[in-house]
A and B are shown apart, each in its own frame.
Chain A
Amino acid sequence: MSRKSEVFVVGGGPAGLSAAIVAAKLGARVLLVDDNPMLGGQLVKQTHRFFGSSARDAGIRGISIAEKLRMEAQAIKKNLVVQLNTSAVGFYGEGEAGILTPERYEKVTYERVIVGTGAVENSLNFENNDLPGIYGAGAVQTLMNVHGIRPGKRILMVGSGNIGLIVSYQLLQAGVEVVGVVEAMPTIGGYLVHASKIRRLGIPIMTGHTIVSANGDLGVTGATLCQLDEKYQRVPNTEFEIICDCICLAVGLSPLIELFQQASCKMVFVPELGGLVPLQDGNMRTSNPRVYVAGDASGIEEATTAILGGRIAGARAFESLHGPSSDAQKIVDDAAGELKSLRSGSTGNRIRWGRERVTQEIASC
């Protein structure tokens, strides 16, 4: 069986969903696939109120933003086909992809593809880092906020970025004891509002410390920590053990990029954006003119920027097929303006540097 689409969107997170909504509303025939049973990507597990621009969902819970986008997609009666529980497994030749539905393997043909596959969680090097009971922060959120199951009774959090801080708070809400947050840097990584919230509830944040080992035979029963000096070297004789039954790693994400590599998109390593990402221009188009990118797959950032990048990709993919459109241009102008203000100021520095690198080099290839 083979399916035809003008714009094929991979991933139903905030980026892919926004891209699909925009492209379909402008008039392109869109097929969206996501490998989960529900649309929304990472947002379906985010119970906290979001930080972001006020025009775009600041102060709203992630789960509500997902719901809003789902409703918007459902209201589109023509042009948009959504196929859940379905993975895009490969790109072949020009404009052909393979998808795996619960029933069968199918071929998809497309004029443009927008890849919004999101990211995978990083692990960290320490002794016994593969013991049962060590989970990524996303996994903890999935287990707890989607399935209603606690990861354990006493948990150690590694990483004090916003994700580590927010998930620590969510763990408390679910009735799990958080024994502490370990952070290698001398200062807390995330926003102080999140840090103060968990500190007030008695959770120690141990900056300048790292995890040396996870302890236990068949599963975690504790962790050994130690102090780090200003060069991030372990300070001898400062090891101590903390008793816990699980460990949560919140040490960053890496873009999910296999599909870009299959489509021969030129890649570039940009640490500020989480690692290898496809080169892309300001219109979210990669070095392969059929392939657009949006969201965390284009560089690790956040849901608000994923939505905006997705809107730009959807509008530009439409225009590349149907010619210039003032409606599409307005969507792009509005989104680009919002992105600029979101990435302004000192907290946006790293992202701005990173984005300058991915968008500059494409001109020369």
Chain B
Amino acid sequence: MNLRIEEHPILVFKKGRKVSFTFGGKKLEGFEGEPIAAALHAAGIRLLRHSPHKDRPRGFFCAIGRCSSCMMEVNGAVNTMTCITPLADGMTVNMQKGHGVIEP
């Protein structure tokens, strides 16, 4: 089943243009302006990172940029909150290790 809602009794969804991005090197498609985590979710990906201490699998939880569960590396920037960061064409999205490393 496609997770994207095609028909809804009350809502119509206005989407941006279709763009492509990569996740772990794999090419995926999503809509410009929707949160990166939402585009990944629609593509069937909900494991976004592993927790720094116990290495537990994590996805997003709050979807409003409060809980930090969805942090990933986007275009090289670690700890990006993907649940509120809009998707743009050509983005490189990767899982990060632990708290991530910032290159000096």
User: Are B42 and A149 in contact, CB atoms less than 8 angstroms apart?
Assistant: yes
Chain A residues near B34: list those with CB within 8 A: 147
Task: Give chain B interface residues in 1-39, CB to chain A under 8 Å.
Answer: 1, 3-5, 8-11, 13, 15, 34-35, 38
A148→B38 CA distance, assembly (Å): 9
Chain B residues near A147: list those with CB within 8 A: 13, 34-35, 38
Chain B residues near A136: list those with CB within 8 A: 61-63
A145→B47 CA distance, assembly (Å): 22
User: Are B3 and A139 in contact, CB atoms less than 8 angstroms apart?
Assistant: no
A133→B58 CA distance, assembly (Å): 9
User: Are B5 and A144 in contact, CB atoms less than 8 angstroms apart?
Assistant: yes
B32 to chain A, nearest CB (A): 12
User: Are A138 and B47 in contact, CB atoms less than 8 angstroms apart?
Assistant: no
Chain B residues near A217: list those with CB within 8 A: 57
CB contact under 8 A between A132 and B48, given known A147-B35, A147-B38:
yes
Chain B contact residues (Cβ within 8 angstroms of A): what range? 20 to 34
State whether the Cβ of B51 lies closer than 8 Å to any Cβ in chain A. yes
User: Are A132 and B57 in contact, CB atoms less than 8 angstroms apart?
Assistant: yes
Chain B residues near A134: list those with CB within 8 A: 59, 61
User: Are A148 and B63 in contact, CB atoms less than 8 angstroms apart?
Assistant: no
State whether the Cβ of A173 lies closer than 8 Å to any Cβ in chain B. yes
User: Are B5 and A175 in contact, CB atoms less than 8 angstroms apart?
Assistant: yes
User: Are B42 and A139 in contact, CB atoms less than 8 angstroms apart?
Assistant: no
Q: Mark A206-222, 1 if CB is under 8 A from B, else 0.
A: 00000000000111000
User: Are B63 and A142 in contact, CB atoms less than 8 angstroms apart?
Assistant: yes
User: Are B56 and A130 in contact, CB atoms less than 8 angstroms apart?
Assistant: yes
B50 to chain A, nearest CB (A): 10
Contact of A133 among B1, B11, B46, B56 (CB under 8 A): B46
Shortest Cβ distance from A140 into B: residue: B63
State whether the Cβ of A70 lies closer than 8 Å to any Cβ in chain B. no
Chain B residues near A47: list those with CB within 8 A: 10-11
A142→B67 CA distance, assembly (Å): 15
B71 to chain A, nearest CB (A): 13
Chain B residues near A256: list those with CB within 8 A: 66
Chain B residues near A142: list those with CB within 8 A: 63-64
Chain A residues near B11: list those with CB within 8 A: 47, 145, 148
State whether the Cβ of A61 lies closer than 8 Å to any Cβ in chain B. yes
Shortest Cβ distance from A147 into B: residue: B38
CB contact under 8 A between A35 and B59, given known A47-B11, A148-B11, A218-B47:
no
User: Are A152 and B3 in contact, CB atoms less than 8 angstroms apart?
Assistant: yes
Contact of A143 among B41, B51, B69 (CB under 8 A): B41
Q: Can you list 29 A-B contacts (CB < 8 A)?
A: A35-B84, A61-B10, A121-B62, A130-B51, A130-B56, A130-B69, A132-B58, A132-B59, A133-B59, A134-B59, A134-B61, A136-B61, A136-B63, A138-B62, A144-B5, A147-B34, A148-B8, A148-B13, A149-B5, A149-B41, A150-B5, A151-B41, A152-B3, A173-B8, A173-B9, A174-B5, A174-B8, A218-B57, A219-B47
Given contacts A130-B51, A147-B34, A219-B57, 17 further A-B contacts (CB under 8 A): A61-B10, A120-B67, A130-B58, A131-B57, A132-B48, A132-B57, A132-B59, A139-B62, A143-B38, A145-B11, A148-B8, A148-B15, A150-B3, A151-B3, A152-B3, A173-B10, A174-B8
Q: What are the 7 closest A-B residue pairs judged by CB atoms, nearest first?
A: A132-B59, A139-B63, A148-B13, A142-B63, A132-B46, A147-B38, A150-B3
